[in-house]
Amino acid sequence: MVTFKDFRNTVKPNWCPGCGDFSVQAAIQRAAANLEIVPHELAVVSGIGCSGRLSGYINSYGLHGIHGRALPIAQGLKMANRDLNVIATGGDGDGFAIGMGHTIHSIRRNIDITYVVMDNQIYGLTKGQTSPRSAAGFVTKSTPGGAIEPSLKPLEVALSSGATFVAQSFSTDLKELTAIIEAGMRHKGFSFINVFSPCVTYNKINTYDWFKENITKLSSIEGYDSTNRAEAMKTVMEHEGLVTGIIYQNEDEPSYQEKIIGYNEEPLNKADIMIKEEELNELMKEFI
């Protein structure tokens, strides 16, 4: 029997006390245990930033890459070993600023991995600059007169990019967050999960209390249909993106790897890669 304790390692996180990322880490550990995944069958790939350290705090395979590039690394890993459970994690700077291109295209590509964003609306590790998720008017070290640009809307971006799984949660709601990550990991395709994970040091606006006051749980909306993309978009827009739960899921769309013609059923990393002499001869014939 696997428990979340199996996913604990001996490294002490360097996050500030009270940081939302602790709960995200716990939720990932619980979700993996609930799905009865053993630690060596899980790989967590993370970007750079406070959240980027997460891959080093879980007793599983982990890769802490470069800023904004967790997703292509995670996709490559899944392409090499389709049997592996792959989770990519990062912050809002990682996923929505420097890595935004990869976020959109990963969503479109629909490779079967789970992406968990720890969204704190601020750059924490660099000690408090604005993020694409900071609200207009938000005062930071890099926006002393208040942010001029409007806040990016990740759920709307995901929904309009062809996502097959879009969810959002709040780090204090460990039960809901765990269930959502589990659902994302079960989803056959790319699952996009945005998590409000407050920064207690640099973001004095979007605090735990602020989220508690402003969030609407989709489970409280009667008859909400998470298979209807138009309804999902409408609901998200009506609530200024401040909803939690599974916002949209399309279970009919096959994942990228299922669509590749001729692609190995077996993980590529186990394939016999030595070409046969007759195969080489066949390939050479075309050039004569």
Binding site for other proteins (CB under 8 A): 8-11, 38-41, 43, 45, 55-56, 59-66, 69, 71-81, 83-84, 101-102, 104-105, 109, 260-264, 266-271, 273-275, 277, 279-281, 283-284, 287-288
Closest to 27 measured CA to CA, from 193, 188, 165, 164: 193
Q: CB-wise, 230 or 268, nearer to other proteins?
A: 268
Q: What angle do CA 241, 246, 247 make, to 5 degrees?
A: 45
Q: Cβ-count burial of 54 within 10 angstroms (0-12 exposed, 13-18 middle, 19+ buried)?
A: buried
Token pair of 93 as six digits: 């700077």
Q: CB-wise, 71 or 195, nearer to other proteins?
A: 71
Amino acid at 215: I
Counts for the chain of helices (H) and strands (E), in that order: 10, 8
Closest distance to other proteins from the beta carbon of 228 (Å): 28
For 77, other C-beta atoms within 10 Å of its C-beta total: 19
Closest distance to other proteins from the beta carbon of 163 (Å): 16
Question: Angle at which helices 21-34 and 174-186 pack, to 10 degrees?
Answer: 50
Q: Cβ-count burial of 43 within 10 angstroms (0-12 exposed, 13-18 middle, 19+ buried)?
A: buried
Residue 183: helix, strand or coil by DSSP? helix
Closest distance to other proteins from the beta carbon of 151 (Å): 23
CB 177, CB 170: distance < 8 Å? yes
Q: CB-wise, 74 or 181, nearer to other proteins?
A: 74
Closest distance to other proteins from the beta carbon of 250 (Å): 22
Q: CB-wise, 209 or 285, nearer to other proteins?
A: 285
Closest distance to other proteins from the beta carbon of 229 (Å): 23
Token pair of 5 as six digits: 């304790």
Q: CB-wise, 69 or 229, nearer to other proteins?
A: 69
Q: CB-wise, 252 or 278, nearer to other proteins?
A: 278
Q: CB-wise, 12 or 209, nearer to other proteins?
A: 12
Closest distance to other proteins from the beta carbon of 12 (Å): 11
Closest distance to other proteins from the beta carbon of 124 (Å): 17
Closest to 165 measured CA to CA, from 188, 134, 146, 140: 188
Provide, for the chain, the percentages of residues in helix, strand and coil under a 3-state DSSP scheme, each rounded to the nearest 5: 40, 15, 45
